[in-house]
Amino acid sequence: MRSALLVVALAVFLGAGAFLLEGRTDAGVADASPGSVASRTAMAPVAMPALDAGDTAGVAAASSAAVDSAVQRADAVQAANPRTQIGAAVLDRKTGMLAVGTNGTTRFYSASVVKLYTVVAILHRVDAGKLTLSATDRNDIQRALVASDDNAMDALWVKFGGAETVSQTISLVGLKDSQPPADPSQWGETKISARDVTAVYNYVLQSMSSASRSMIMNALGHAQDKGADGFDQAFGLIAPPRQSNVAAKQGWMWINSDFDLHTTGVLGSDDRYVVVILSKNPANAGSAAARTIVNKATAAAEAAIPQPR
């Protein structure tokens, strides 16, 4: 059902930095029911017991229980919607506890979530002194992350090695499930898992330079409600009413008979929690139905995370 890191692995996690854990683009196909935006469903937060700061075992146990509950709640939303497949994973970066749902290691098409993988690879080269970005490059990175702009991603993909950027991030972070697209021209068909995406965020926050980390997280913290293609990306982690201290990379893609809709990101003023909800839905049900399910799964997972954030 889930996978949680043991306390004995915590020191390795915190010291190592890397956590081993659209049909082509988001613009895709016009939807028959694009307009409605389902608001975040209010869920009662879990009350966590007060713990002494020195109670390491107690803090770890409470953290494990919280992230386990988060993915279990997301899995329950999938059980109530059997035509939808949900991949959920939640990481508490303060304790190193990771919980992975039933499909948390299942591969989904990335849609625009791969933009994060590509930007990580590019900025790693900058951090290593192997690359200097032009003003156009920086603008394309901002557009790819803030507005999920496919044209900006196309430019980055072509200029910086395409599928090689995915392979590089897989190697840097030690990802277990992700795969470059079978057709190198189709970046949205990169394969990712919820488990792997939590590791990518943790790598950004722990292992990248402060400049690269700030570039990525500031952009994701200002993700627009509407994507560059006009799709309303205010769902999941940034569903209305939008919470403060949330940074997110969304993804959506129609491919064959499926509609993939993903919300991924971090919560809290200290970016403590990484929450990833990936979904594959029947395209004929429409994007509004998928949005409602993803909103429910996200709200359910968030409700298990201790307050305050």
For the chain, give every domain's residue range: 7-283
CB atoms within 10 A of CB 300: 22
Query: Where are the alpha helices (H) located in the chain, listed in sequence order?
Result: 10-16, 56-80, 114-127, 135-146, 150-159, 163-173, 194-207, 210-221, 287-303
Range with the lowest mean pLDDT among 1-5, 136-140, 146-150, 159-163? 1-5
Q: What does the pLDDT read at residue 277?
A: 98
Residue 309 one-letter amino acid: R
Nearest to 119 by CA among 179, 174, 160, 175: 160
Share of the chain above pLDDT 70, in %: 81
Q: What does the pLDDT read at residue 24?
A: 40
CA angle 226-271-243, nearest 5°? Answer: 45
Nearest to 32 by CA among 297, 239, 282, 213: 282
SS3 135: helix
d(CA 200, CA 164): 16
- CB neighbour class for 23 (10 Å; exposed up to 12, middle 13-18, buried from 19): middle
d(CA 38, CA 225): 13
Q: What are phi and psi of 182, to 5 degrees?
A: -60, -40
CA 53 to chain centre: 30
CB atoms within 10 A of CB 9: 15
Report whether pLDDT(90) > 90.
yes
Angle between helices 210-221 and 194-207 (to 10 degrees): 130
Report whether pLDDT(184) > 60.
yes
pLDDT in tens, 218-274: 999 999 999 999 999 999 999 999 988 999 999 999 999 999 999 999 998 789 999
Nearest to 66 by CA among 29, 103, 94, 38: 94
Q: Strand pairing partners for 279?
A: 86
Tell me the pTM: 0.84
The CATH architecture that domain 7-283 belongs to is: 3-Layer(aba) Sandwich (3.40)
Q: What does the pLDDT read at residue 244?
A: 86
What is the arrangement of strands in the sheet containing 85-92, beginning at the earlier edge strand?
97-100, 85-92, 273-282, 258-267, 246-255
Report whether pLDDT(126) > 50.
yes
Tell me the pLDDT band of 54, cut-offs 50, 70 and 90: low
Q: What does the pLDDT read at residue 269?
A: 78
d(CA 301, CA 89): 9
CB atoms within 10 A of CB 183: 10
Sign of CA dihedral 76, 261, 108, 273: negative
Tell me the pLDDT band of 59, cut-offs 50, 70 and 90: confident
